[in-house]
Every structure is written in structure tokens, then in C-alpha cells.
Structure 1
Amino acid sequence: MNVKVKIINKSKHELPAYGTLFSAGMDIRANLDNPVVVEPMQRILIPTGLYMALPEGFEAQIRPRSGLALKHGIGILNSPGTIDADYRGEIGIILINLSDKPFEIKDGERICQMVVKEFCRVEWEETDTLEETDRGAGGFGHTGVQ
């Protein structure tokens, strides 16, 4: 399914794009005047220069890039971050350096992925009981290790 999304690009870079034919996420680039160093355990807000208007019933999820996470310990602090359909400000990415080494982010570097997803809204139906299932209240490893 293709969805049209209005976008304003005030960055110096191309629009977000899919890396391969079957990619779910589009790469988002840092929009910086100068490189930024993220110290170990530091969190930082990185601007993208992107503004968009998602259609009603859709959200954008901001997710880490696996290569940055594995090789450098760089993650998304509130992963996945959510961009709501009524937000019109600049998309900013909250990165965290979970490694023990400083990491430099350069202008134009791909810093995260964005996945646009349809969602439903919940209408609560209060009750005193819930239907029974085989699982019941089991959680947090109740099915074992193997």
C-alpha cells in the first residue's frame, strides 16, 4: 500500500528514502551545520530539517539503525519514537551513546529509520472480568528458556 505524505525539506539533503526494494524503514539524515560529538551515555537531539503532515490514522515510528547500534552503541532513547499525524514541527531525533567511546555525527549521516504505520484508536469497555486463555496471567518468561 502506498500513502501520500506532504513533506517540507529544509535540510541540505535528499528526502528520506528506502534503502532496498523490501525495506520497511526510510533512512533519515542528520541536518547539521557542524559535526556533533556524542559522549558516552550522553543523549542529544539531532535536527533533520524535515516537517511533514501524516494523514489521519497514521503515525511515523522512529527506530534505531542496526549498524549504528551494533558497531557504535548509538540508539534512539525513546525507541520507537512516535510522530503523530497532527504534529507539524521539525522532526528531531533523540540519540543516545550507550558505548564507552565518543561518537561523531556528521551532517548528512543516516541516523535512524522512519516507518509510517496505520493505527487504530481504542474505545475502552470497562468490565469486571476477562475471558480466560491458556496463557492466563503468565508473563516474563513463563514459557521457559527453550
Structure 2
Amino acid sequence: MMTGVEGVEIKVVRLAHGRDLALPDYATAAAAGADLLAAIDQDIELGPLERRIVPTGISIALPVGFEAQVRPRSGLAAKNGITVANAPGTIDADYRGEVGVILVNLSKESFRISRGMRIAQLVVARHARAIWREVSALDETERGAGGFGSTGVAAGSSTRG
């Protein structure tokens, strides 16, 4: 279903251990991320602070100039402390292996992952390659070299600098 957003065709191969699972799909018409499913034969008990690569049962081929970003699902993160360890994980256009999701449990409770569970989202995005050009100085901006927290820390904060 198209929503007025430009679509890009992504070739996908279902691997043997994921043949019965759905392909990545969007939960709503305007969703940016398609859900990735756990392609596991046995439940995984993810203990507190434990991380594990969870297979998805698919391999993809992205067109050159695109990447796929593996991102956490907000519900798993908010309710259970489950997130993607390298969020966002990047899948490059020349990668042809299985899409895996590095999940980490940041809660104090164990979390059970079962076959077919929605474990992450996949966002496909265009990207540009930088052409690095060394210069002797950079142009001046209002912010300058102000780093972390330099533009204020709270909504409505008048702290600058």
C-alpha cells in the first residue's frame, strides 16, 4: 500500500529457518520502519544486561545509494528494557548475509523472545557518500565549538553557551 511516499524495491530471500515467517512489513500506512521477526527454533531467555544476535531468517539486497537501519521497537524498549545494542545498526548495499538484530536487555528482569516475535524495525534510507576535503579552517557559526548540552538541556531552557 503506497502512502504518497516514494517506494524502493528491496530484493529479499527467505532463508530455510524463516520460510514460514512474514516478510518485513509496516504496521501502519505511515510507518517508517518495517517490523523484523525473530527466526528462532527455540525461545531465547535474554537475561539482564545480556545481549544476543537474533536471526531474522532473511537476506536482502539494497540498491546502491541506500542503507537499511535496524532500530529498536519503542514498545519493547519502554515496557521491557529491550533495545538494539548498536542502534541504529547499518546494513550496507553490498551486504548479502542474514539480517541479524543485536538485542540487549537493559532491565533487571529476564525477557523471553519467541519465534515470530517482532524484535526490531528496519528503516530503508537514501544516503550520500562524503567527499572529504581538508581545509585550514572552518566557517564560523553561532554555535561554534559548543558541544554536548551547549544549546540547553530542558525544553524552554534559556541557557545557552
**Is TM (by shorter chain) over 0.5?**
yes
Query: 2 CA distance for matches of 1:144 and 1:109?
Result: 39
Matched, 1:8 2:16: no
Unpaired segments of 5 or more residues in structure 2? 1-5
Query: 1 CA distance for matches of 2:151 and 2:92?
Result: 35
User: How much identity, in percent, do the aligned residues show?
Assistant: 52
Matched, 1:99 2:104: no
CA offsets 1:79-111 (integer angstroms, 9 cap, x no match): 000000000001111000000000000000000
Q: How many residues align?
A: 146
Query: 1 CA distance for matches of 2:48 and 2:140?
Result: 47
Q: 1:24 aligns with which of 10, 23, 32?
A: 32
Query: 2 CA distance for matches of 1:144 and 1:97?
Result: 30
Q: Which has the higher contact order (CA 8 A, sep 6+)?
A: 1
Tell me, what secondary structure is at the counterpart of 1:91?
strand
CA RMSD, Structure 1 to Structure 2 (Å): 0.7
Q: 2:47 aligns with which of 39, 42, 46?
A: 39
What is the TM-score normalised by the length of structure 1? Answer: 0.98
- Give the letter aligned to residue 21 of structure 1: A
Matched, 1:139 2:144: no
